[in-house]
Amino acid sequence: MGHSEKASKFVANSERMHWHDKALWFVREKRDLAAHQLDEWEELRRVASEIKSHTMDRLDYYLEEFEKNAKQKGLHIHWARDAREHNEIVLNLLLAHGAKRVVKSKSMLTEECHLNPFLEKNNIEIVDTDLGERIVQLRREAPSHIVLPAIHLKKEEVGKTFEEFLNTQKDNCDPTYLTREARKHLREKFLTADASITGVNFAIAQTGGVVVCTNEGNADIGTSLPKLHIASMGIEKIIPRLEDLSIFTRLLARSATGQPITTYTSHFHAPIEGGELHIIIVDNGRSDILSNSDFKESLHCIRCGACLNTCPVYRRSGGYSYGYIIPGPIGSTLGASRDLQANKTLPFACTLCASCSNVCPSKIGLHNQLYKHRQNVVKAGLLGAKKRAILKVTAWVMKHPLLFDFMGLVVRKIVPILPRSIVYSKANVWGRNRELPKFPKKSFKELYKERIK
C-alpha cells in the first residue's frame, strides 16, 4: 500500500485530520517566532550546513578522532555495520552486565534497528521513558513523529491506555494528571533499571564525548542511576569541535518546538561512579548515501522535526501514512535512498512547496531531493501504469504548441457546459473534495498577445 492509500484512511476522518493539521501548525508557528527573534538565524543555518558538509567530507577522519578521544576518557567504542550487529552488541553488553531491566530514552536509531522487539525476544524488559514514546509503546504502536511521538493521539485515547496499563482513574484524561501518573510509573522503572540506552544528538570528535538533549529529563535520569549506559549513534552524528555546539544548540530546540533550548542538554564524557559508558557507532546504510551527490545532504539532518511540522502533506496525512520509520520530508528522502522500490510512493507525498527546505536548520534541500527521487522512480520503471500513461500523454501534448493551444481551447469551451456528473465523475480524483475554478474565456497566451499589441 502506497502513501496515498494509507493517507486516505487518515483523511477519512476529516475532523481528526484538521485537528492534527492545527496541532502541528501551532508548533510550526512557535518555531517561526523563535527563529525571528534572532537576527543571525540565517547565519546560524549557513554555518550549521557548512560544518555538516565539512564533516561528511572527512567523516572517516572525524570518526577515528572521536574514537581515540573517547577511549582516552575511558569510554568504550563499538562499531556496527548494520542493525543486526548493533542489536547483538547491545544484547551482549546487557548479558555481560547481567542486565534484565533496561530504560531507554528516545532514539530513532534504535527504532530503525527494531531493537525493542529483539531485546524482548531475548527476555529483556525494555521501557521507553519519553512520555510520548511510552504511550505508543504501551499501545504497541510506532512513533508517528520524530519529536512528538504521540501527536496522532487525543488525550482521551491516552487516558484509556493509562487506565488499562497504569490503573489510572476512569475517564480522567487531564494531561497534568496523566503526566503525574506516568512520572510515578516511570520513576519506579528508573530506580530499578539495570542499564540505560540512549540515542545521541551530537558526538564531539575533539573531546570524545556525546550530547543528548531532552525536555523531560528522561535520558539524564536514566543514565545517572544504573551502572551501564549504552549510547547508540549513526555515523552522521559527529561534529568536529565542542564549539560547534554553540551553533547546533541554538538551532535544534528553536527549530523543533520553538523553545530557546531543550530543558536538559547533557554532555557525557564519563560514566557515573563505578559505571561504564559504551557508544555504538552504526552505519546501517548511511555510508551508501554519502556516495550520492544528490542525496548526501540528507545526512546533515539533526532530527528536529521542523520539516514534518511545516509539511502540508504530513500535517494532513499523519505519520503512519508514510510507512517508513521516519515520516515527513526527511523520512521520504531517507526511505527512498534506502530502498526505492519499497518506498517508491514517498517522493510523491510532497507538493514541492519547498517549505521543508526553508525551515531546515542545516539547509538540506529536501524538496530538491524528493524531486530527484521522483525521476529515479520513473527511470527505474516503478511508476504506476495510470500515472505513467498520463505523464506520457501530457508530455506529448506539451511538446506540440499548436495541439496544446487547441486542446486548451476545447477544454475551456466544453468543460463549463458538461453536466456535473461527467466533470466530477470517479475519474476526477482531484475534484472529489474540491471545486474546479471558473474557466476563463481566453488563455494566458491570448491575453498576453492582446496586451503587447
Partner 1 sequence: MSSKEAILNRIKKNRPSSTIDLPNTDILHTKYRDKDKKFAMTLKSVGGKAIWLEDNKSVDEFIAENYRDLDIIVSTYSTHNIDTPHLLENVDLAVIKGEFAVAENGAVWIKNPKNRHRALYFLATRLLIIVDKNSICDTMHEAYKLIDFSRAGYGVFISGPSKTADIEQALVIGAHGAIEVCVLFV
Q: Does 43 bind partner 1 (CB under 8 A)?
A: yes
Closest CB to partner 1 among residues 76, 412 = 76
CB of 291 to partner 1, least distance (A): 4
The span from the CA of 9 to the CA of 397, in Å, is 35
Between 264 and 404, name the residue whose CB sits nearer to partner 1.
264
Q: Smallest distance from the beta carbon of 5 to partner 1, in angstroms?
A: 27
H/E/C letters for each residue in the chain? Answer: CCHHHHHHHHHCCHHHHHHHHHHHHHHHHHHHHHHHCCCCHHHHHHHHHHHHHHHHHCHHHHHHHHHHHHHHCCCEEEEECCHHHHHHHHHHHHHHCCCCEEEECCCHHHHHCCHHHHHHHCCCEEEECCHHHHHHHHCCCCCCCCCCCCCCCCHHHHHHHHHHHHCCCCCCCCHHHHHHHHHHHHHHHHHHCCEEEECCCEEECCCCEEEEEECCCHHHHHHCCCCEEEEEEEHHHEECCHHHHHHHHHHHHHHHHCCCCCCEEEEECCCCCCCEEEEEEECCCHHHHHCCCCCHHHHHCCCCCHHHHHCHHHHHHCHHHCCCCCCHHHHHHHHHHHCCCCCCCHHHCCCCCCHHHHHCCCCCCHHHHHHHHHHHHHHCCCCCHHHHHHHHHHHHHHCCHHHHHHHHHHHHHHHHHCCHHHHCCCCCCHHHCCCCCCCCCCCHHHHHHHHHC
Among 7, 10, 28, 80, binds partner 1 (CB under 8 A): 80
Tell me the C-alpha distance between 145 and 80, whole Å: 26
Name which position in 58, 84, 445, 449 contacts partner 1 (CB under 8 A). Answer: 58
238 DSSP β-pair partners: 203
Residue 173 has which C-alpha cell?
484524561
Could you say which of 79, 165, 320, 424 contacts partner 1 (CB under 8 A)?
79
Which CB, 54 or 101, lies closer to partner 1?
54
Nearest distance from residue 57's CB to partner 1, in Å? 5
CA angle 252, 112, 265 (to 5 degrees): 30
Stretch that binds partner 1, among 56-64, 93-101, 119-127, 362-370 (CB under 8 A): 56-64
Among 4, 53, 358, 443, binds partner 1 (CB under 8 A): 53
Of the ranges 112-120, 235-243, 352-360, 391-399, which one interacts with partner 1 (CB under 8 A)? 235-243
Q: Does 38 bind partner 1 (CB under 8 A)?
A: yes
Nearer to partner 1, 112 or 283 (CB): 283
Round to whole Å and give the CA distance between 178 and 191.
20
Q: Check residue 163 for interaction with partner 1 (CB under 8 A).
A: no
Among 9, 18, 68, 183, binds partner 1 (CB under 8 A): 183
- The nearer residue to partner 1, 25 or 320, going by C-beta atoms, is 25
Q: Does 142 bind partner 1 (CB under 8 A)?
A: no
Q: Considering CB under 8 A, how many residues would be counted as binding partner 1?
A: 97
Residues between 293 and 322 with contacts to partner 1, criterion CB under 8 A: 293, 296
Least separation in angstroms between residue 324's CB and partner 1 is: 22
**17 in contact with partner 1 (CB under 8 A):** no
The binder of partner 1 chosen from 7, 27, 306, 334 (CB under 8 A): 27
Binding pattern for the stretch 405-444 against partner 1, x by CB under 8 A and - elsewhere: ----------------------------------------
Restricting to residues 192-211, name those near partner 1 by CB under 8 A. 204, 207, 209
In the bound complex, what is the minimum distance in angstroms from residue 261's beta carbon to partner 1? 4
176 touching partner 1, by CB under 8 A: yes
Measure Cα distances from 283 to 86, 286, 353 in Å.
9, 5, 31
Positions 98 through 117 that interact with partner 1 (CB under 8 A): none
Give me the least distance between CB of 69 and partner 1, in Å please: 9
* Least Cβ distance, residue 191 to partner 1 (angstroms): 6
- Looking at beta carbons only, is 3 or 45 nearer to partner 1? 45
Smaller CB separation from partner 1, 222 or 329: 222
Compute the distance between CA of residue 332 and CA of residue 343 in angstroms, rounded to an integer.
8
Residue 300 contacts residue 53 (beta carbons within 8 Å): yes
Adjacent-strand bridge partners of 228: 195, 276
User: Which one of 113-121, 180-188, 302-310, 325-333 is the stretch in contact with partner 1 (CB under 8 A)?
Assistant: 180-188
Contact call for residues 70 and 77 (beta carbons, < 8 A): yes
Q: Which 249-288 residues touch partner 1, going by CB under 8 A?
A: 249-250, 257, 259-270, 272-273, 281, 283, 287-288
Question: What's the closest the beta carbon of residue 349 comes to partner 1, in angstroms?
Answer: 23
The residue (of 23 and 340) whose beta carbon lies closer to partner 1 is: 23
Q: How far is the CB of 350 from partner 1 (least distance, A)?
A: 25
